[in-house]
Structure 1
Amino acid sequence: MNLGILGAGSIAGTMAQTIQKLIESGCKDVSLYAVAARDLPRAQAFAAQYGVQKAFGSYEEMLADPALDLVYIATPHSHHYQHIKLCVAHGKHVLCEKAFTVNARQAEDVLRYAEAQGVLVTEAIWTRYQPMRQMIRQVLDEGVIGTPGLITANLCYPVSDRLRIVDPALAGGALLDVGVYALNFAEMVFGPADEAHASCTKNELGVDMTDQMVLTWKDGRAAHLTAGVTVASDRSGCIYGDRGYLVVENINNPQSISVYDADHRLVRQLSCPAQLTGYEYEVLETVRCIREGKTECPSMPHSETIHIMELMDRLRAQMGVAYPCEGLE
């Protein structure tokens, strides 16, 4: 299956490396076929660096190539809605980076369009596809920590020097960039929250820099989540039960699970299976689902993408964060 990368930034480079490593490992399911950037020299430089077969100086030109099957969208959040629609209009399947769109209205609209066109569109939030998700679930299902009742998680990086993080025109801020991982971590364990509350600090442009989020469930469970773009944090996620707790190393790409009993003694430790980059799981599931004629992936179905966008809409409304790119234009 021929993959094209729309955008030529750093995350696009990670995807290109992923496809390279898949091919080197003997995988014949996907090829690194094309890359498109806003100008041809940028695309050509990317293609030369990563061994991409074709380089295009416009997105439309790449999408017009009949040999292209699947597009990975690696542009800022602010442009995802437009770029997904553009790909779908050309009959291409889509793996789009998180945050999927700027708001739930855009997500619902573009997913309806994709369904009508009969193409697969899925959100590339890698933690949903990785095997560590099932490993965490297995430990919980074994009852080692008893009944889980509380989650804490944090994800912060010092990235406020990047324009896409601080500019409202690019749908910047902590929530859509890193807070989305904390929310997904909590809801992959506890399911959809019944209530959600948030507060934040902002920059001079009104974009959230540090977020505090509290999710609660009617049965008494709760999740306390922190996301930020001005400091570095330990990125840990903890799930607490009445017989112990487990600690996940790096909720943005879980590397290990440490299980403790109620007396804080380490009773088990599990390591992440060997990875190529961690992106390979979303690629392989997407390719498999396309071949099976599906229009969504089971690890991140459309209903979950829309739900997470609705949740972030509610949290942004509470924080008073809005963007000029929230329409359906």
Structure 2
Amino acid sequence: MTSAPPVLPATRSQPLRGGPVLRWGVVAPGGIAADFVHALHTHTDQRVVSVASRSADRAAQFAQQHGIPRSHGGYAELYDDPDVQIVYVASPHSEHLRLATDAIAAGKHVLIEKPIGLSAAEARAVRDAAADAGVFAMEAMWTRFVPQTDVMMQLRDAGDLGELRLVTADLGFAAQPGGRLFDPQLGGGALLDLGVYPVWLSHLLLGMPESVRATGALTGTGVDEQSALVLDYASGAQALLSTSIRVTSPGRAAASGTLGRVEIDPFFVFPSGFSVSRGDETARFDDRSGLTYRQGMAWQAAAVARHVDDGLLESPLHPLQTTVEVMTIIDDARRQLAASGA
């Protein structure tokens, strides 16, 4: 039996140039902060005007490398800088809550690297602090803003996939033992660092599950090394998710409905493309921007600038309640793994 070929809509992702511009400050400069600043300065009109670290030398070196006019050997100086409109928090997960709420208390908008904190309770604390202060706050779930996610969501919302019944997603990268990912004090483990992406995707497509079942293994330091999650929904739909810091997995994701299926190219978190199938007919969406890997953070920054310019306190695409619910799922899975002594 054949079906009509899927018709792919045009992407509605925020244009990278020509829109509102924010003056950004970066706290805790490291690898992901370097990629973020490079994406902004290379592909958008956004500009980082200040950087802060606990080490003045490290901040100065980062500023010189990335063409940032000011650097500080302490975070308070950046928060007090009247030229900084928004703070990007790029520290280890364990510091997200403290650094974000300090910036919020100083009246700054915040974009906080994912996961927003160590738990749903920390996510709620950031949400409530930002609401009380009247500033914009968002978790940096940048994959929500890349073009393939927007086009896929248009297909889902138009009913082109029918009723979604199964979401599958995996993300694993082999990590060197002994680093941050193995340190429980720094929020180590696969679920917080990598599993947040598959869990977020399942939530984006299916919402909040009725139940979470998790199995896996722990490292010698007690953090989750690898896990598989089954999420069950009231509709009868399921999500099958996996993550690992022990091995590198294919990084695939798919959403299967009663009328069609989307298969996102690996690694699904980066700018890429997907195939959509309906019956015997298949169509392709390919991201033609030329942006790869973490360069895709550029769309997130442009979208945040638009949200702030529009006077919003949250992103309609990735609201803080979504962050809270994703963290609630991860909390549940981490409790199960810890209780099992895996």
TM-score normalised to the size of structure 1?
0.90
Q: Deviation per CA, 1:207-252, whole angstroms, max 9, x where unpaired? A: 0011101111122110110011111111010122344432111221
Give the total of aligned pairs: 314
Match of 1:126 in 2: 142
The one-letter amino acid paired with 1:279 is M
Could you list the per-position Cα deviations for residues 83-136 of structure 1 after superposition, in whole angstroms to 9, with x for gaps in the alignment? 011111211110000000111112212221221111111111111222322211
Query: Please, which of 278, 284, 291 is the counterpart of residue 269 of structure 1?
Result: 284
- CA deviation digits over 1:2-33, x for unaligned, max 9? 1011111110001110121135xxx3xx3220
**Does residue 204 of the first structure (1) align with residue 213 of the second (2)?**
no
Other-structure match for 1:287? 305
Aligned mates of 1:100, 1:141 — CA distance in 2: 27
Q: 2: CA distance between counterparts of 1:121 and 1:138?
A: 25
- RMSD across aligned C-alpha pairs, in angstroms? 1.8
Aligned 8 A contact 1:181 1:251 in 2: no
| 3-state SS, counterpart of residue 226 of structure 1 | strand
How far off its partner does 1:143 sit? 5.0
Q: How does 1:307-326 map to 2 (within 5 A)?
A: 307-320=325-338
1:195 pairs, out of 211, 219, 232, with: 211
Q: CA deviation at 1:141?
A: 4.5
Distance 1:196 1:56, change over 3 A: same
In the TM superposition, 1:163-178 aligns within 5 A as: 163-178=179-194
Q: CA deviation at 1:261?
A: 4.6
Q: Are residues 1:51 and 2:72 paired?
A: no
2 CA distance for matches of 1:261 and 1:110?
42
Q: Do 1:104 and 1:310's aligned partners in 2 also have CA atoms closer than 8 Å?
A: yes
Shift of 1:305: 1.2
> Which residue does 1:256 correspond to in 2?
273
Alignment of 1:138-149 (within 5 A): 138-141=154-157, 143-149=159-165
Q: Which one has more relative contact order, counting CA pairs under 8 Å at least 6 apart?
A: 2
Q: Cα gap change, 1:295/1:261 in structure 2, threshold over 3 Å: closer, same or farther?
A: closer
Residue 221 (str. 1) matches residue 237 (str. 2): yes
In the alignment, which residue of structure 1 is the partner of 2:118?
102
- In structure 1, how many angstroms separate the alpha carbons of the residues matched to 2:262 and 2:307? 33
- CA drift at 1:144: 4.9
- Is the contact made by 1:185 and 1:251 (CA closer than 8 Å) also made in structure 2? no
Partner of 1:324: none
Q: Is the 8 A contact 1:258 1:266 kept in 2?
A: no
Distance 1:81 1:234 in 2: 32
Asked if 1:89 is matched to 2:105, the reply is yes
Match of 1:21 in 2: 42
Cα shift readout 1:257-311 (whole Å, capped 9, x = no counterpart): 112355xx66111112415411122212222222222211111112111111112
Please name the residue that 2:10 is paired with.
Answer: none
Structure 1: runs of 5+ lacking an equivalent: 322-329
Quote the offset at 1:198 in angstroms: 0.9
User: Does structure 2 retain, via aligned residues, the 8 Å contact 1:195–1:215?
Assistant: yes
CA distance in 1, matches of 2:260, 2:301: 35
Q: How many percent of aligned residue pairs carry the same amino acid? A: 30
In structure 2, which of residues 11, 21, 24 is the aligned counterpart of residue 3 of structure 1? 24
Q: Give the stretch that moved more between structures: 57-66 or 144-153.
A: 144-153
Within 5 A, what are the aligned runs for 1:225-240?
225-240=241-256
Judge conservation of contact 2:218–2:337 (CA < 8 Å) in 1.
Answer: no
Which letter maps to 1:13?
A: A
Amino acid at match of 2:42: K
